[in-house]
Amino acid sequence: MKIKNYTPTKGFIWILLLIIFIAWLVYKCVPLTEKDQDALIHSNMERERIRLAEEFDSYTQEDFARLPKFDSRKYFLIKRSGRFWLIPREYQGDSGFKIRWPTDVNKLLAKKWKNDFDRDYAFNVFMYSPQYYNRTTDYWGRKIYNNASCQPKPYVGKFKWNGVLVRIYDSYHRNIKDEQYLDVCLTALKILNEEVKEIYFVN
> Per-residue pLDDT tens for 60-108?
899 999 999 999 999 999 999 889 999 999 999 888 999 999 999 999 9
* Range 168-176 average pLDDT: 72
- Say what the pLDDT of residue 162 is: 92
The sheet with strand 83-88 has its strands ordered as 75-80, 83-88, 197-199
pLDDT-derived band at 176 (thresholds 50, 70, 90) equals confident
The sheet with strand 96-101 has its strands ordered as 92-93, 96-101, 121-128, 164-170, 158-161
CA gap 112, 201 in Å, rounded: 41
CA gap 127, 148 in Å, rounded: 16
- Say what the pLDDT of residue 33 is: 65
In order of 53, 85, 135, 142, 163, the CA distances from 138 in angstroms are 21, 29, 8, 5, 19
- Say what the pLDDT of residue 53 is: 65
pLDDT of 26 above 70: no
pLDDT of 190 above 90: yes
- Domain-by-domain residue ranges, the chain? 61-199
CA gap 99, 29 in Å, rounded: 55
pLDDT-derived band at 199 (thresholds 50, 70, 90) equals very high
Select from 188, 153, 151, 152 the least CA-distant residue to 169: 188
pLDDT-derived band at 57 (thresholds 50, 70, 90) equals confident
Residue type, 62: E
Residues of the chain with pLDDT > 90: what percent? 35
124 CB burial (10 A radius; 0-12, 13-18, 19+) = middle
Three-class SS of residue 135? coil
Q: Which residues sit opposite 84 in a β-bridge?
A: 79, 199
* Range 127-140 average pLDDT: 71
pLDDT of 168 above 70: yes
Look up the pTM and report it. Answer: 0.71
CA gap 91, 36 in Å, rounded: 45
- Say what the pLDDT of residue 192 is: 96
Mean pLDDT, the chain, rounded, equals 81
